């Protein structure tokens, strides 16, 4: 059984979080993400959860990480300016292997920019925004249905890999309204508990330590300092730092194929659009209006870790076209993995590429 609703993207994200068992939300109002907080404020108390409006975004992500260490599924949602403020503690979440979900409903930047207009300008910040080396997982919905589905998925990935996981959406998907099917229950990946006799930050072959939330009697010391398998600071030994940070990166990067989620259309194509988020909707429109098997489409639902092997699904591709709502971010990933021309089709200002703009790009570059 399931129910069908006509719903806004941000509301669907909140519904997905609730379905996934999220029971803690810490946030700060910011356009165009606020409806997520508003929905959580309305729904969480009735679901036995906690909603708290924090004093700023630094505090929001901090409270989420604190709550996550009690074992609850926890989330925050924001947009560019708040995302920038969260960066230090996002690095802390990566370093401490705290499972949590961060939603960024992207708007035009830099700075305060365009609060009510869409952009995809934070894609590299999401991957590299905090200092130091680390890896994260980022998902990119292109519909209201995916706002629900990928939020659920984000919680499962966050738990499985003990890594901050991002839903990198935008004002268009966050504010548009579409039909969405909400199932009665969703698949929830169980956490891997810390085994008896294992140290709190001792990982198995998958690089992911078992999780002993606070209150489990394991007296876990959690620190953002470089630490050993016991969780104790070890800040000067080059080998200790190398071992820890290599593992933090490898546990995500080595699972790229497992985490990957993408759609392939017309694998024999000579010209291939590579998209994520709402520009994929325009590409879909173009392909409906102008059926042509020489034009392909790779649509990414997971952008980080970047699935470079997905580009190999198009062995005959001569050119890759990358429409993005920025001046060129994910296009760099495509460029560094193929030896054929990769053309950026940038668009900023807050509106999607029109089908005519993409048809024109096809005519020029095919």
Q: How far is the CB of 65 from another protein (least distance, A)?
A: 6
CA dihedral 42, 45, 47, 48 (to 10 degrees): 170
Q: What is the DSSP letter of 313?
A: G
Region of 302 (left: φ > 0; alpha: ψ -120 to 50; beta: rest) is beta
Distance between CA atoms of 104 and 123, rounded to whole angstroms?
A: 10
Q: Give the nearer residue to another protein in terms of CB position, either 12 or 63.
A: 63
Distance between CA atoms of 351 and 1, rounded to whole angstroms?
A: 37
Q: Give the nearer residue to another protein in terms of CB position, either 74 or 244.
A: 74
Q: How far is the CB of 90 from another protein (least distance, A)?
A: 10
Q: How far is the CB of 74 from another protein (least distance, A)?
A: 7
Q: How far is the CB of 151 from another protein (least distance, A)?
A: 19
With 0-12 / 13-18 / 19 or more C-beta atoms within 10 angstroms meaning exposed / middle / buried, residue 339 is exposed
Q: How far is the CB of 245 from another protein (least distance, A)?
A: 17
Give CA separation, 20 vs 24, 97, 148, 154, 175, in Å: 12, 20, 10, 9, 21
178 touches 40 (CB < 8 A): no
CB atoms within 10 A of CB 124: 15
CA dihedral 147, 149, 151, 155 (to 10 degrees): 180
Q: What is the DSSP letter of 97?
A: T
Q: Which residue(s) pair with 227 in the sheet? A: 233
Q: Give the nearer residue to another protein in terms of CB position, either 195 or 364.
A: 195
Q: Give the nearer residue to another protein in terms of CB position, either 101 or 295.
A: 101
Q: Give the nearer residue to another protein in terms of CB position, either 85 or 272.
A: 85
CA dihedral 189, 190, 195, 196 (to 10 degrees): 180
Q: How far is the CB of 118 from another protein (least distance, A)?
A: 30
Residue from 61, 84, 86 nearest 74 by CA: 61
Q: Give the nearer residue to another protein in terms of CB position, either 221 or 290.
A: 221
Q: How far is the CB of 21 from another protein (least distance, A)?
A: 13
Q: Give the nearer residue to another protein in terms of CB position, either 88 or 253.
A: 88
Q: Give the nearer residue to another protein in terms of CB position, either 56 or 289.
A: 56
81 touches 30 (CB < 8 A): yes
Q: How far is the CB of 222 from another protein (least distance, A)?
A: 5
Site residues (vs another protein, CB under 8 A): 23-24, 26, 50, 52, 54-56, 58-60, 62-70, 72, 74, 88-89, 92, 214-225, 230, 232-233
Q: How far is the CB of 20 from another protein (least distance, A)?
A: 16
Distance between CA atoms of 312 and 233, rounded to whole angstroms?
A: 43
Q: How far is the CB of 11 from another protein (least distance, A)?
A: 24
Q: Give the nearer residue to another protein in terms of CB position, either 56 or 293.
A: 56
Q: Give the nearer residue to another protein in terms of CB position, either 25 or 166.
A: 25
Find how far residue 171's CA is from the centre of its chain: 15
Residue from 177, 151, 170, 181 nearest 74 by CA: 151
């Amino acid at each position: 059984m399931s129910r069908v609703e006509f719903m806004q993207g941000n509301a669907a994200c909140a519904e997905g979080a609730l379905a996934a068992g999220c029971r803690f939300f810490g946030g700060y109002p910011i356009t165009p993400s606020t409806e997520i907080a508003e929905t959580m404020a309305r729904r969480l108390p009735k679901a036995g959860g906690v909603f708290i409006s924090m004093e700023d975004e630094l505090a929001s992500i901090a409270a989420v990480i604190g709550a996550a260490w009690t074992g609850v599924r926890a989330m925050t949602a924001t947009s560019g300016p708040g995302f920038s403020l969260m960066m230090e503690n996002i690095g802390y979440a990566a370093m401490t292997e705290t499972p949590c979900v961060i939603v960024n409903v992207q708007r035009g930047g830099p700075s305060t920019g365009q609060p009510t207009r869409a952009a995809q300008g934070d894609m590299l910040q999401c991957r590299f925004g905090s200092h130091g080396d680390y890896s994260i997982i980022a998902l990119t919905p292109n519909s209201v249905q995916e706002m629900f589905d990928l939020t659920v998925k984000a919680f499962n990935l966050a738990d499985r890999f003990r890594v901050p996981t991002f839903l990198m959406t935008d004002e268009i998907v966050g504010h548009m309204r579409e039909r969405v099917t909400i199932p009665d229950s969703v698949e929830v990946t169980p956490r891997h508990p810390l085994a008896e006799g294992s140290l709190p930050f001792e990982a198995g072959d998958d690089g992911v330590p078992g999780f002993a939330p606070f209150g489990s009697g394991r007296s876990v010391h959690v620190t953002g300092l470089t630490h050993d398998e016991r969780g104790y600071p070890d800040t000067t030994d080059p080998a200790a730092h190398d071992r820890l940070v290599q593992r933090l990166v490898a546990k995500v990067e080595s699972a790229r194929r497992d985490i990957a989620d993408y759609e392939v259309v017309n694998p024999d194509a000579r010209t291939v659009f590579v998209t994520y988020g709402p520009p994929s909707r325009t590409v879909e429109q173009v392909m409906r209006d102008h059926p042509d098997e020489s034009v392909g489409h790779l649509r990414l639902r997971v952008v980080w870790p970047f699935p470079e092997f997905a580009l190999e699904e198009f062995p005959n591709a001569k050119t890759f076209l990358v429409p993005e709502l920025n001046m060129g971010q994910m296009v760099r990933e495509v460029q560094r993995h193929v030896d054929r021309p990769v053309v950026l089709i940038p668009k900023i200002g807050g509106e999607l590429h029109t089908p005519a703009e993409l048809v024109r790009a096809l005519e020029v570059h095919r």
